[in-house]
Amino acid sequence: MDFKPPFQSITWNDDRVTIIDQTYLPEREVFIDLNSAGQVWDAIKKMKVRGAPAIGITGAYGLYLGVKGLKETTFDSFYSEADRIAEYLNSARPTAVNLSWALKRLMATIYAAKEKPIDEIKEIILETAITIHNEDRRLCRSIGENGLDLIPDDAKILTHCNTGGLATGEFGTAFSVILHAHHAEKLNQVWVDETRPLLQGSRLTAWELQKAEIPFKLNVDSAAAFLMQQGKVDLVILGADRITKNGDTANKIGTYSLAVLADAHNIPFYVAAPYSTIDMDLETGSEIEIEQRDADEVTGFGNKQTAPDKVDVYNPAFDVTPNHLITAIITEKGVIKPNYKTNFEKLFG
């Protein structure tokens, strides 16, 4: 199945990375240039770029931007400074494993090139960042192709948060499955959770679905149970920011609720993610660091205050879905079913 998505959210242009600033969507399509590691950190922290794979790609470019002007002449001093920049970039969003995965890969690449001149090492860093970007494009296409057989004819799919080209290098993860189902004429429509508090579903996924001319309806998060009760959802498919060795999955807050609801209504619940999202260093979801975000994301919207002054707020960006609630995990290497620990170990050799 040969088709191209309607936009590119991340591009490398000579000496800078250009992204769609997602904080302006859907009102305006604003492209911004990131010229330094500091600007990349800010873009990731403030969710100008978001989605685990997109964060990893942007962070990889950010490491190159951070080291390209370094004057260090010895490998040890260069490596030390590169490691400091990598730790700094990783601090922007600690839950999404793709960021740390990409930065660790770059640091390993730097170490492997330690006998080479510093200027050549810098070029190798950029080449590796571009490779990570291109690999993500290919693997996201494969995720969509691998997930297609799980989609019934005339499917009504519910999704949560944003998993499309805005969240990846291209195609998306769960969105790639939806996109491939649409082009295979297997799709009836998509239900789009608005995804509070930052509305990634209504602001971003709805925008992408319109771009791709895919039929959908937007719903408030709390309508999901009623939709399932009415038989209007055939399956749930969404992404992941980190998957542990046993298959427990961290994703946007609200994901666990959908998994419980899907289980109660006997509806398949699928996670779509690249293999780099699987963190074999963590045994279970209880070990995942969950990012806590600012209270003002909950107490107001835009310039409008929606809660009393000085109210206490609990605002985790993610929750963890236990592995027993996940029907299958769709990766570029194929569809993985329980027992996840055993099958992940086979996958990673």
Active site residues: 241
Order across the sheet with 16-20: list the strands.
10-13, 16-20, 31-34
- 131 residue type, one letter: T
CA distances in angstroms from 264 to 76, 222, 259, 283, 342, listed in the order given: 56, 15, 9, 26, 26
- 179 residue type, one letter: L
- Cα angle for residues 20, 121, 76 (degrees, 5° grid): 115
Sign of CA dihedral 50, 90, 273, 130: positive
**Residue 330: strand pairing partners:** 272, 335
Rounded distance between C-alpha atoms, residue 86 and residue 101, angstroms: 11
Rounded distance between C-alpha atoms, residue 279 and residue 56, angstroms: 14
**Residue 159: strand pairing partners:** 192
